Amino acid sequence: MKQITIAIHGGAGPDSRLIRENQDGIKQGLASSLQKGYDILEKGGSSVEAVEAAVAEMENNPLFNAGRGAALNRHGETELEASIMNGHTLGCGAVALVKKVKNPVKLARVVMEHTNHILIAGPAAYEFAVDQNVELETDEYFITEERWKEFMEQKDKASAADLLRQPHHGTIGAVAMDKNGHLAAATSTGGTGNHLPGRIADVAMIGCGCYANDLTCAVSGTGDGEQLVHTVLAHSIAAVIRHTKCTIQNACDIMVPLKRKDMTADVGVIAVGPAGDIGCTFNCERMPRASMGTNIPMQVKIYR
Amino acid sequence: MKQITIAIHGGAGPDSRLIRENQDGIKQGLASSLQKGYDILEKGGSSVEAVEAAVAEMENNPLFNAGRGAALNRHGETELEASIMNGHTLGCGAVALVKKVKNPVKLARVVMEHTNHILIAGPAAYEFAVDQNVELETDEYFITEERWKEFMEQKDKASAADLLRQPHHGTIGAVAMDKNGHLAAATSTGGTGNHLPGRIADVAMIGCGCYANDLTCAVSGTGDGEQLVHTVLAHSIAAVIRHTKCTIQNACDIMVPLKRKDMTADVGVIAVGPAGDIGCTFNCERMPRASMGTNIPMQVKIYR
């Protein structure tokens, strides 16, 4: 059997009560999402199918900030965002400011495979989802008790101007290599709690929060979105591999900025290279993550 | 006096009647936009101010597909998109699906300098513009006779599914180096004629249609947006310079794909490096463009 690999993450950032109190659930969620993607790869499925399935499973799990359980914006609504990239064809697709779509990553894949657009946002993304028979859910489906409480606590605390200055984070993602050596990456998010409606983050920007190219690597990034965009992080990792031939782990370590006193950005990445080798780096307290490959036993971790 | 440089483009693509019949007007528009940016640099202004002013001037000119004169979407409306990046700070800002904002590039700069967001889209971008006292115009202001005729001719010709498969292009942009050696890039577009509302292109994706970093270069890309995103074009040019130390012109030539029989994508870029050297490449019939620097006389061209 040819080698296969998959790695997933549930978002880099500071530790929180939600995470501490749900460590077992988060680890179980990571393991079952990973397994879902791995099973597809093992049966000969493509890396695109595998990352889509793994991310959709996390979108369905209310413990992760994507799909069901996504953070609520300033209007108490979910605004979802996802992207996917095929490292073999360099095809990519993304959706943003999406409501009612159960699995934004699946809609991103439809954009990638059935349109000549890259990013469709807002009501148009919803209409496109309806047109393409993508599964929908009520607005209530996405809102968990925990997120509603968070919204009610935060809603009057900051002005619009304050919110515009807040960093934003909270993302999930997956990268994989299939039996044919093809790579893929997918990323999905619900945004930061209490964010301004209309804000689109790094997730939808191909090259920042998501990138895949069979020649170099597939990357899913997470953390403070602004930092991922400044550095065009996912593509930077691919570029350093392309031009310097360093290892995947090395490339992740070089490109994820260390925390300094004057820099508060939380950043993390997972990556997989053409030999099925995994890279994983984060500069903050936690990045729930899991990985598995033909010769790599399953690993599931939250903290360092 | 320390060296200064500015280069601008009015969009790469196939030749058209609109362009052939307006060659003098387009050249005059390019020259006066270039001059506007150059004057700022000469007086010691920053590269960010210069690219903003040059792009705003083209947005005001109905001969370019951005701001006034932008292509109309399937609903006969303008949906504007712009981005800007500061190569000194790596700060960046973008807006998409914007209506009524006279100069989207100015709103992108406000996003960059006064928020912690990167991309604000749709009605939220309009509300933000109102909040920040950015200049507004009526919807009618943006619609030229030529664009309305184009809309009326095309509007019933393609289904939504056809439109989703159409490539899209039409962009303007500027890159500059100021007296302090700081670089900046800005890009702006009205999208393709008859595009589906809700489509966001490469322009708003930092690293694809716009990128600036004092260490390598500032780039503004144009052409078929999808191709610019697949290749994360602007950042790819910066990365090849960073890792191989090749010249700006060389990097542009390496990264802009040559046309092949199986590849129809039109792509073009302008770039400026830390020594004030200019790069410019396009693989299609025309890319209206102009450039000028301390030791570089003004050049204004449309075709090869």
Q: Which of A78, A171, A231, A281 is catalytic?
A: A171
Q: What pLDDT was estimated at residue B163?
A: 63
Name the helix (H) or strand (E) containing A299.
strand A296-301
A295-303: average pLDDT: 95
Mutate to test the interface with B, among A95, A114, A118, A162 (most CBs of B within 10 A): A118
pTM, to two decimals:
0.94
Q: What pLDDT was estimated at residue A158?
A: 72
Strands (E) located in B79-159: 80-86, 92-98, 119-121
Q: Which of B5, B78, B171, B222 is catalytic?
A: B171
Distance from CA of B97 to the nearest CA of A (A): 9
Beta bridge partners of A279: A271
Distance from CA of B302 to the nearest CA of A (A): 27
Show residues of chain A in contact with B129, CB under 8 Å: none
A105-111: average pLDDT: 97
Show residues of chain A in contact with B120, CB under 8 Å: 196, 198-200
In the predicted model, what is the mean pLDDT of chain A?
Answer: 92
- Please give the order of strands across the beta sheet that includes A278-282: A210-213, A217-223, A267-272, A278-282
Percentage of chain A modeled with pLDDT above 70: 95
Show residues of chain B in contact with A91, CB under 8 Å: 230
- Please give the order of strands across the beta sheet that includes B278-282: B210-213, B217-223, B267-272, B278-282
Q: Which residue of B has its CA nearest to A161?
A: B115
Contact A121 B116 (CB under 8 A): no
> What interface predicted TM-score (ipTM) does this complex get?
0.92
Residue B110: strand, helix, or coil: helix
Mutate to test the interface with A, among B81, B229, B250 (most CBs of A within 10 A): B229
A231-245: average pLDDT: 96
Task: Copy the structure tokens of residue B75.
Answer: 């609903």
Class of residue B258 by CB neighbours under 10 A (exposed 0-12, middle 13-18, buried 19+): exposed
Name the helix (H) or strand (E) containing A175.
strand A171-177
Contact A122 B92 (CB under 8 A): no
A190-218: average pLDDT: 90
Closest CA to B217 of B85, B75, B26, B41: B85
Show residues of chain A in contact with B206, CB under 8 Å: 205, 208, 229-230, 232
Name the helix (H) or strand (E) containing B248.
helix B248-255
Q: What pLDDT, in 10s, does the model give residues B180-219?
A: 999 999 999 987 777 778 989 889 999 999 999 999 999 9
A74-79: average pLDDT: 88
Q: What pLDDT was estimated at residue B74?
A: 84
Mutate to test the interface with B, among A168, A210, A228, A229 (most CBs of B within 10 A): A229
Name the helix (H) or strand (E) containing A214.
none
Distance from CA of A96 to the nearest CA of B (A): 9
Q: What pLDDT, in 10s, does the model give residues A115-163?
A: 888 999 999 999 999 999 999 999 999 999 888 888 888 777 777 666 6
A21-41: average pLDDT: 97
A197-219: average pLDDT: 94
Show residues of chain B in contact with A202, CB under 8 Å: 118
For the cut 70, the answer to whether the pLDDT of residue A10 exceeds it is yes
A90-106: average pLDDT: 96
Q: What pLDDT, in 10s, does the model give residues A134-144?
A: 999 999 999 99
The one-letter amino acid code at B138 reads T
Q: What pLDDT was estimated at residue A24?
A: 97
Contact B118 A196 (CB under 8 A): no
Distance from CA of A168 to the nearest CA of B (A): 8
Contact A226 B117 (CB under 8 A): yes
Inter-chain Cβ pairs, chain A and chain B, closer than 8 A: 163
Which distant-in-sequence residues (6+ apart) come within 8 Å of A140 by Cβ?
none
Rg over CA atoms, chain A: 17
- Please give the order of strands across the beta sheet that includes A183-189: A296-301, A289-293, A5-9, A171-177, A183-189, A80-86, A92-98, A119-121, B199-200
Contact A200 B239 (CB under 8 A): no
Distance from CA of B229 to the nearest CA of A (A): 7
Contact B124 A91 (CB under 8 A): no
Distance from CA of A118 to the nearest CA of B (A): 6
For the cut 80, the answer to whether the pLDDT of residue A171 exceeds it is yes
Residue B82: strand, helix, or coil: strand
Contact A121 B124 (CB under 8 A): no
Looking at residue A65, what DSSP letter applies? S
Q: What pLDDT was estimated at residue B252?
A: 97
Mutate to test the interface with B, among A77, A132, A162, A164 (most CBs of B within 10 A): A164
Q: Which residue of A has its CA nearest to B167?
A: A116
Q: What pLDDT was estimated at residue B130?
A: 96
Contact A118 B197 (CB under 8 A): no
Distance, in Å, from the CA atom of A1 to the CA atom of B203, rounded to the nearest integer, reads: 43
Contact A198 B122 (CB under 8 A): yes
A207-226: average pLDDT: 95
Q: What pLDDT was estimated at residue B164?
A: 59
For A198, the closest of B124, B242, B243 (CB atoms) is B124
Distance, in Å, from the CA atom of A34 to the CA atom of A32, rounded to the nearest integer, reads: 5
Distance, in Å, from the CA atom of A37 to the CA atom of A7, rounded to the nearest integer, reads: 9
Which distant-in-sequence residues (6+ apart) come within 8 Å of A172 by Cβ?
A8, A9, A10, A11, A55, A58, A59, A64, A65, A66, A187, A188, A189, A222
Q: What pLDDT was estimated at residue A263?
A: 67
Contact A115 B165 (CB under 8 A): yes
Q: What pLDDT was estimated at residue B165?
A: 56
Distance, in Å, from the CA atom of B240 to the CA atom of A202, rounded to the nearest integer, reads: 22
- Is A192 one of the annotated active-site residues of the chain? no
Contact B198 A125 (CB under 8 A): yes
Residues of chain B with pLDDT under 70: 1, 160-169, 260-263
